[in-house]
Amino acid sequence: MNDHLQEIFSTLKKNKLRTALTGLSVSWGIFILIVLLGAGNGLKNGVMSNFSSRAVNRISLWSGTTSIPYNGLKSGRNLHFMEKEVSTIHHEVTQSDLITARSDKSQTISYGSEYGTYQVRGVMPAYCEIEKLVIQQGDGRFINQLDINQTNKVIVLDQKIVEVLFKGKPALGQYVKVGQLMFKVIGINSKKEQWGGSNAYIPFSTSQVIFNPDKKFNQIMFTVNGLETKAANERFDESLRNLMGRSLSFDPQDKQALWVNNTQAEYIETMKIFGGITIFVSIIGIFTLIAGIVGVSNIMLVTVKERTREIGIRKAIGAPPSSILKSIILESIIITAIFGYVGLMLGIGVTELVNFLMEQAAAANASSDSMQMSVFKNPTVDIGYAVFATVVLIIAGVLAGYLPARKAVKVHPIEAMREE
């Protein structure tokens, strides 16, 4: 085999420039394929990371203002949830899993001489999992059912609030002042809000007692299971509106009365879009690659034409047809494989470089307050593509070489040797 390769390399070396130019078209094809796939992946990973910072199967409900008269009630009524809605959803919506009510109040939180104004959220224990808050080892715990039952005055603070108020001193177990009341710090959340704000979390029951004497609030969040298609989500949203409509007395068709944000439906839609983008990108990449293969095939044809005399001589001195066929196809495979790999490596290099630069930028951003929303992340392709590309390259080489090789086999030695 080594001997055959040496023989082939000696012919390839004969015309280095042309070999290089031929190979370049394949390199370019693979390079574009990898970069495009990387870009597609980057876009997908970026958007996915935004989804995954919260539960993807999350549904948020906001109570709104009615815009359609209903059951003798006028339009323009402000609607509010009460705790019964939470238990209605919990018990009647079979797909529901984790659930929390949420009421927000902007409050000044102070510790010693340090203070700041933050959103204080009254939430239930499931909030932690729905919003994927991060409470690290040694950073305490989130609000639990006991806190709810006993309306404990306990508080979980975002890392940034801790930094502002405590200036590096231990915060756990200390008391902070929220409005006029003292709350014990029981946990620190180190997940950053994508939009940069900082929150504090207190038991929902405590929040109701202190901030909402009328027991009204306007947000419920819960997770759902088993809604795999867009249609299923639409049906679910509709039945949810009907349920809430009955509970709060509004027309289920009244979109202003209840705002439903179904991340699951968005997620499914987005996945579909990215499926489309991946197909689109693959098609462009593959056509670029095909152009490269056609280029190789074309140049191999020219090469065979140019080497007619040499091939004739080889046949005259006893080269069997199979050997001629094999050598031309092998030449083609070697060109496509070597240059294809160069393109592959360059493509992977570029995607990795972009990834590296983006990670650097992200690390620099992490310490600042700027927005953490990303649309592009980890634009790399996995090893599966490299293996796939190797197979494609070899097949491409065979395809590109086959026609020229057939032509070479048909070369008639006498006529070939007459050519100058």
Partner 1 sequence: MIDLKQLHKSYYTEAISLHVLKGISLHIDSGEYVSVMGASGSGKSTLLNILGILDTYDSGEYYLDGTLMKNLSEKQAAHYRNEMIGFVFQSFNLIGFKNALENVALPLYYKNVSRKKRNIIAMELLDKMGLKEWAYHMPSELSGGQKQRVAIARAMISNPRIILADEPTGALDSQTTVEVMDVLTHLNKQGITTIIVTHEKSVADATNRIIHLKDGMIEYETRKENGVHNTYTYAAQNL
17 interacts with partner 1 by CB under 8 A: no
DSSP class per residue in 113-140: TEEEEEEEEEE-TTHHHHTT----TTSB
Pairing of strands 181-189, 258-262: unpaired
Q: How far is the CB of 397 from partner 1 (least distance, A)?
A: 22
In the complex, the smallest distance separating the C-beta of residue 420 from partner 1, rounded to whole angstroms, is: 9
Residues across the chain:
420
Binder among 5, 9, 14, 364 for partner 1 (CB under 8 A): 14
Taking CB under 8 A as the criterion, the residue among 232, 386, 403, 417 binding partner 1 is 417
Write the CB contacts of 44 (distance below 8 Å, at least 6 apart in sequence).
Answer: 274, 277, 278
Q: List the one residue from 3, 72, 94, 363 that touches partner 1 (CB under 8 A).
A: 3
Shortest reach from residue 36's CB to partner 1, in Å: 39
Q: For residues 202 and 329, which CB has a smaller minimum distance to partner 1 in the complex?
A: 329
Residue 50 CB coordination number (10 Å): 15
By the rule CB under 8 A, 310 interacts with partner 1: yes
Site map (CB under 8 A) of partner 1, residues 311-330, x = contact: -xxxxxxxxxxxx-------
Tokens matching residue 110: 């102070």
Distances from the Cα of 132 to the Cα of 147, 223, 283, 328, angstroms: 20, 12, 37, 59
Pairing label, strands 114-123, 96-111: antiparallel
- CA-to-CA distance for 49 and 54, rounded, in angstroms? 9
Q: State the nearest-atom distance from the C-beta of 19 to partner 1, in Å.
A: 13
- Does residue 1 interact with partner 1 by CB under 8 A? no
User: Per CB under 8 A, does 6 bind partner 1?
Assistant: yes
Quote the tokens at residue 160: 């940034």
Residue count, binding to partner 1 (CB under 8 A)? 25
Smallest gap from Cβ 16 to partner 1, in A, equals 11
Query: Any contact of residue 172 with partner 1 (CB under 8 A)?
Result: no
Query: Closer to partner 1 at the Cβ: 69 or 321?
Result: 321
Residue with tokens 């090469």: 303
Contact range with partner 1 by CB under 8 A, out of 121-129, 180-188, 385-393, 406-414: 406-414
Segment lying near partner 1 (by CB under 8 A), choices 6-14, 160-168, 187-195, 365-373: 6-14
β-partners of residue 223 are: 58
Within 10 angstroms of residue 272's Cβ, the number of other Cβ atoms is 11
Asked whether 398 and 328 are in contact (CB, 8 A), the reply is no
Rounded Cα–Cα distance for residues 136 and 183 (Å)? 21
Which of 11, 174, 219, 270 binds partner 1 (CB under 8 A)? It is 11
- Residues of this chain that interact with partner 1 (CB under 8 A) are 3, 6-7, 10-11, 13-14, 309-310, 312-323, 409, 413-414, 417
